[in-house]
Structure 1
Amino acid sequence: MSETNPRLLFHKSSYSANSANCVEVAATQNGAAVRDSKQPHHGHLLFATAEWRAFIDDVKAGSM
C-alpha cells in the first residue's frame, strides 16, 4: 500500500451516487491506483497495467 500521492486524480463511478461505500480509481504512469472513498488518507493499492486490464476484463465478462 502506498501513501496517497496528491497529484493523482481519483474518480469514483457515477453509479455510486452519494454512497460512501465506494472505491476510487486513478490512472498512473504504470497502471492504476485504487483507494477507499471513506478513508482516502489511508493510502492506495497500486496495480500494474496488465493486472488492471485483466481485472476489468474479468468484471466485464462477469467472472468476478
Structure 2
Amino acid sequence: MITVNGKELDIAADVTMRQLLLQLSMPERGIAVAVDGTVLPKSRWDATTVEKGSTIEILTAVQGG
C-alpha cells in the first residue's frame, strides 16, 4: 500500500515511478514528483522502484498569474 496525493493505493511489487505514473494516467510533462517529502528528478523515474509504505505527491504545473 502506498499513498498518492492523500489516497491509499495498492500496487504490485517492483513498479517503477514511471510505470506508476502511467497507471495513474499522469502526463509525461508538467508534473513534479516527491517521495516522502523529497523531489524525485525525472531522470530517476525509470530507476526508482516505488516502495510499499511510501507517500507520493504529484504536483501539476499551472500557468497563470
TM-score by length of 1: 0.28
**Structure having the larger proportion of residues in strand:** 2
User: What's the TM-score once normalised by structure 2's chain length?
Assistant: 0.28
Task: Please identify which structure carries the higher helix content.
Answer: 1
Pick the structure with greater CA Rg: 1
Relative contact order higher in (CA < 8 Å, ≥ 6 apart): 2
